[in-house]
Amino acid sequence: MAQYEHLPIYKKAMDVEKEIEMKAIFGSITKLCMICVLIWGVCGPANVLAGEGNIDGTSKYACSENSGWVNFSPTNGGVTVHNTHLSGYAWAANIGWIKLGSGAGPYENNAADNWGVNRDRGTNALSGFARSENAGWINFNTTNSKVTIDPRTGKFDGYAWAENLGWIHFKNPAGLYGVVTTNTLPIPTLNQWSMIALVLLLGIFAVRVIKRGRENVIRTI
């Protein structure tokens, strides 16, 4: 076949074949990525709508040293942990409702109508301010402590601070109390890993079939 390589028709055929091959490979990769996205959509974290609390019904209490329990999943309220912020209401029997956000986040925390608790998925830390009508501002990003959320388990940890309440603790080391959200990054199950592996194998097989088809075309030129 080497004796034909100098012919223009041969070079043009090779260029056309390479273009067809690349389009086919990119098409297979695109389909593969779409399938992976669909799989992640099934096993990945669910999107939550504003106003729906997603705090675990059992693990829902933080503890204030001066005002007692703070319930993040009360009957008539509830806190929602979004990917970038928190919203909704927690309840403390001694001070009433605590609002975690003033609107759609993330929040700038720079005005009377723009404040709330933000969530950084990169560092797992919370920041910004919650508001109690009876106890004032609650700082979630103090100099001496930060509140965090483990993205895998959904567990809160650390301390928030309010001038009139003191420290609010989100996780007892002995497990006596704690706050946990259901908005987590779940680890795929064995069946889900098997499906992902199958999709990858099919993608590799498709690429090999395309290459083999190209080789057959070249032999016929």
For 91-138, write each residue's pLDDT tens digit.
Answer: 998 999 999 997 788 999 988 889 999 999 889 999 999 999 898 999
Give the pLDDT confidence of 65-80 residue by residue, as tens digits: 888 999 999 988 899 9
Q: Phi, psi at residue 13, to the nearest 5°?
A: -60, -40
Q: What is the pLDDT of residue 26?
A: 59
> Maximum CA pair distance of the chain?
92
Mean pLDDT across the chain, nearest whole number? Answer: 79
Please state the rounded mean pLDDT for residues 144-154: 93
Q: What is the pLDDT of residues 2-20, one digit of tens each?
A: 454 455 554 555 565 666 6
Q: What pLDDT does residue 49 have?
A: 40
Q: What is the pLDDT of residue 43?
A: 45
Distance CA 62, CA 72 (A): 8
Other beta carbons less than 10 A from residue 4's beta carbon: 11
The Cα 9–Cα 12 span in angstroms is 5
Query: Given a cut of 50, is residue 42 above it in pLDDT?
Result: no
Confidence at 197, pLDDT banded by 50, 70, 90: confident
What b/e readout covers 116-141, taking b as 16+ CB neighbours within 10 angstroms?
Answer: bbbbeeeeebbbbbbbbeebeebbbb
Q: What is the mean pLDDT of residues 129-151?
A: 93
Write down the pLDDT at residue 51. Answer: 41
pTM of the model: 0.62
CB-CB neighbours of 199 under 10 Å: 17
Higher-pLDDT residue of 149, 65: 149
pLDDT score at 45: 44
